[in-house]
Amino acid sequence: MRTLLSVAFLAIGIAVGGAVPAVSNFVRQTLSSVGVSPALFTPAAGPAPAKPDAPEAEAAHADGDGHDHGPKPAAPKAGHAHGHEGHGHEGHEHKEGNEHAEEGVIRMRPEQVAGQDIKVAEIEGGTLARHLLVPGTITPDTDRIARVPAKVVGTMAEMRKRLGDAVQKDEVVAVLDSREVADAKSEYLTASVRAELEKTNYDRQQALWDKRISSEQTFLQAKATYTEAQLRVDLARQKLSALGLNAAEVAAAQKRDEATPNQSSLRRYELRSPLTGRVVERKVDVGTAVGKEGDPSDVYTVADLSTVWIELSVPTVDLGKVKEGARVEVSPSQEGGDRHEEGKVVFVSPLLNPDTRSARVIVALPNKDMAWRPGTFVTAEVEIARDKVAVKLPKAALQTVEGKRVVFVRTDEGFEKREVQLGRADDDSFEVVSGLKPGEEIAVGNSFLLKAELGKSEAEHAH
């Protein structure tokens, strides 16, 4: 009877266990202890439990034929594997869209490069030029400055040019009224007329002598007189030449004067410019007496300022570095002057100034627009060395990362950090000994943005 009661209570337990899965294990163990097979009381397939993923619900499972297969193993988490040797990681996940997966690489699309105004240029060989900074003063080129002298005694009759006026070579710039010139012209004209008369007489006496009509003495006397007249003409012509006059022009002017007796040019003396340039100085006025002792000897000063000189005072310690023919870049000394011009050293004095212990160095400087005015103080960068290098790197492209000098090389994906070894240097560039080859493209402008981007990427990897 007790056995029957026990079985009844157990049946009730089985029913409760089917409704409450949490106690099913306990019931099954009890049935086993009294010799009843738990399979006889296994409930038919019914609705799925409310929480199938609970650990208690997954302790046991049955397949479609109703047989118990024991505890169901837990599914491994994604990306991890469990083995007998310990816990291992497999399939480590990378953050999707990470642009800096590799160390030293900055992935950047072309539109991003353009948007950040990162300038890229091809690296090639070149020349490193070192310079010496020296102050200087602009002066006129002494080979291109001239004075218009008053070679004769006279009075200024015309002044045809003003200060700053442009003049051409041999252009008449002033006219003198000179008695000395009148005497010289008169002497030449008289000698010329006398020579013509004596030549006529000589030709006639020669014809008579050939016919033996006149005596030999008469013929020889006519020949001597004609020779003397020719000599006087030559002397008068040389005198005109010494005054800067042309004998043919004087003779032509005399014929014009004969046609217009009231406009004699005998006393006029024209002053001409010796070169093409500008009038930079005017020393006399109309009516001023010139030519005598104590009078002004010059009328104008004309200068060709298309080329000017720069006088530099180079210290003795640097004098050996400056060579004739060296390039010189000139800029104004005053602030705000952004003009630059390239000149050339044309003279290095072998003598030292005993007071300053410096040598005079002359630089020829083009001045086509007349902007470089004599007397202006300038700063000159004299080239003292030129070295050819296989790879020339602009200083703006260089960055320092972790104490190393690096550049950013352009790649298909973006930029790559590259360590470089540097050699010689000048004002703007370095020689690259190793790390770069000619033809490679690097960032030469705003490269600090790439350095900042690289630092941000490395900080993200560290976390």
Cα gap 128→182, rounded to integer Å: 67
What pLDDT is stored for residue 56 in this prediction? 40
Q: Are 147 and 300 in contact (CB under 8 A)?
A: yes
Question: Greater confidence, 221 or 22?
Answer: 221
pLDDT at 228 over 60: yes
In CATH terms, the fold of domain 149-175+271-296 is OB fold (Dihydrolipoamide Acetyltransferase, E2P) (2.40.50)
Reported as a single tens digit per residue, the pLDDT across 421-431 is 898 888 788 88
pLDDT at 30 over 70: no
pTM over the 0.85 mark: no
Give the confidence band of 51 by pLDDT, cuts at 50, 70, 90: very low
Reported as a single tens digit per residue, the pLDDT across 309-328 is 999 988 888 888 899 999 99
Cα gap 300→139, rounded to integer Å: 18
Percent of the chain topping pLDDT 70:
75
For the domain made up of 131-141+304-386, the CATH class stated in words is mainly beta
Give the confidence band of 42 by pLDDT, cuts at 50, 70, 90: very low
Specify the CATH number of the domain 105-127+388-462: 2.40.420.20
Residue boundaries of the structural domains of the chain: 1-93, 105-127+388-462, 131-141+304-386, 149-175+271-296, 179-266
**Three-state secondary structure along the chain?**
CHHHHHHHHHHHHHHHHHHCHHHHHHHHHHHHHCCCCHHHHCCCCCCCCCCCCCCCCCCCCECCCCCECCCCCCCCCCCEEECCCCEEECCCCCCCCCCCCCCCEEECCHHHHHHCCCEEEECEEEEEEEEEEEEEEEEECHHHEEEEECCCCEEEEEECCCCCCEECCCCEEEEEECHHHHHHHHHHHHHHHHHHHHHHHHHHHHHHHHCCCCCHHHHHHHHHHHHHHHHHHHHHHHHHHHCCCCHHHHHHHHHHHHHCCCCCCCCEEEEECCCCEEEEEECCCCCCEECCCCCCCEEEEEECCCEEEEEEEEEHHHHCCCCCCCEEEEEECCCCCCCCEEEEEEEEEEEECCCCCEEEEEEEEECCCCCCCCCCEEEEEEEEEEEEEEEEEEHHHCEEECCEEEEEEECCCEEEEEECEEEEECCCEEEEEECCCCCCEEEEECHHHHHHHHHHHHHHHHC
Q: Which residue shows structure tokens 């083995």?
A: 83
pLDDT at 411 over 50: yes
